[in-house]
Amino acid sequence: MLLPNRDVQTFLKEKGDYKGDIDGKVGPATNAASWAFLTRSNISATTWSDARKRIAVEQLMFKDEGKDVGTVDGYVGPQTRQAYEDYIHDDRENDKSDSAIAHQLIIWPRQKDVPSFYGARGVNQVLLALPYPMKLAWDQGTIVKRISLHEKVAPSAERALKKVLEAYGSRIPQLGLDLYGGSLNVRKMRGGTQWSMHSWGIAIDFDPEHNQLRWGRDLARLARSEYIVFWQAWEAEGWINLGRERNYDWMHVQAARL
């Protein structure tokens, strides 16, 4: 599976095959809707596993957006992978519907409202003293004790990191939760045209080497089950992780809704 579960459920609902809630939980109703849609699309998938059927549905989703996936066969080959990367590029540039983000806590603004809420890029920064020392991800001999964040989000980030320290303690280095990939950085989104959330100092990256931008939950280290408490600490503060929300950029957490 490449795409977020909510995207697939929304697509199947729009096609008239899924009747359940858009809750991101894949169960019998979602699987049955996938099978019904494939059948209506003349895809012979009788002997396929649920996982293969799911990939086939995603291939049809890509085709629906005009992306070339080759044969709809339920396998992630080069064409499907390229279609997925094109999807990510488009996804990062587009605002999400209110229903797609209804589950996100309303604490921070939506990305489109970031300039009016936080002000100019690169200003209103404070140095947050980290609850535990980190290391530069690209130079692990350099210890990081303070990071630059917007003054509006620094107290929230400190609370989240204190929860991480309480939950993981001495396991933090083993899990790579001390590998700091950056916070304030005034730049455009990688491969995009819009300004990155890092430009306001409202985003933090962790362990970028093991959680690369286009890696999904099948590759990203921070997608593993042992990191759920880490993400829950941030989500309790209203921050969102693009990996858990969109299944890419698992390194990234931000104080802005999509």
Residues 175-214 have pLDDT tens digits of: 999 999 999 999 987 766 789 999 999 999 999 999 998 8
Q: Is residue 227 part of a domain?
A: yes
What residue numbers bound the domain in which 84 lies? 5-94
At residue 114, the pLDDT reads 96
Q: Are residues 167 and 41 in the same domain?
A: no
d(CA 241, CA 257): 10
Would you say residue 159 has pLDDT above 80?
Answer: yes
Model pLDDT for residues 141-156, shown as the tens digit of each residue: 999 999 999 999 999 9
Within 8 A by CB and 6+ apart from 235, the residues are: 105, 241, 244
Residue 216 DSSP label? -
Average pLDDT, the chain: 92
At residue 192, the pLDDT reads 67
d(CA 209, CA 137): 8
Q: Are residues 89 and 118 in the same domain?
A: no
> Are residues 51 and 1 in contact, defined by beta-carbon separation less than 8 angstroms?
yes
Question: What average pLDDT does range 15-31 have in this prediction?
Answer: 89
- Among 94, 127, 143, the domain boundary falls at 94
At residue 1, the pLDDT reads 64
At residue 101, the pLDDT reads 81
At residue 86, the pLDDT reads 85
d(CA 120, CA 13): 40
Q: How confident is the model at residue 125 (pLDDT cuts 50, 70, 90)?
A: very high
Q: Is residue 161 part of a domain?
A: yes
Which domain CATH number covers 215? Answer: 3.30.1380
Residue 6 DSSP label? H
Q: Is residue 71 part of a domain?
A: yes
Sheet (strand 139-150) strand order: 139-150, 125-136, 179-182, 203-206, 252-254, 240-241
Q: Is residue 103 part of a domain?
A: no
Within 8 A by CB and 6+ apart from 57, the residues are: 8, 11, 12, 34, 37, 38
At residue 161, the pLDDT reads 98
Strands 179-182 and 125-136, bridge-based pairing? parallel
Q: Is residue 100 part of a domain?
A: no
Q: How confident is the model at residue 21 (pLDDT cuts 50, 70, 90)?
A: confident
Could you tell me what percent of the chain has a pLDDT over 90? 73
Structure token digits, residue 5 = 């579960």
Would you say residue 83 has pLDDT above 80?
Answer: yes
Q: Is residue 102 part of a domain?
A: no
Give the C-alpha distances (Å, rounded to integers) separating 142 from 4, 56, 98, 132, 139: 36, 46, 42, 14, 6
Q: Is residue 101 part of a domain?
A: no
Amino acid sitting at position 33: A
Q: How confident is the model at residue 95 (pLDDT cuts 50, 70, 90)?
A: confident
Could you tell me what percent of the chain has a pLDDT over 70? 99
Whole-structure pTM value: 0.80
Q: How many domains does the chain have?
A: 2
Would you say residue 81 has pLDDT above 90?
Answer: no
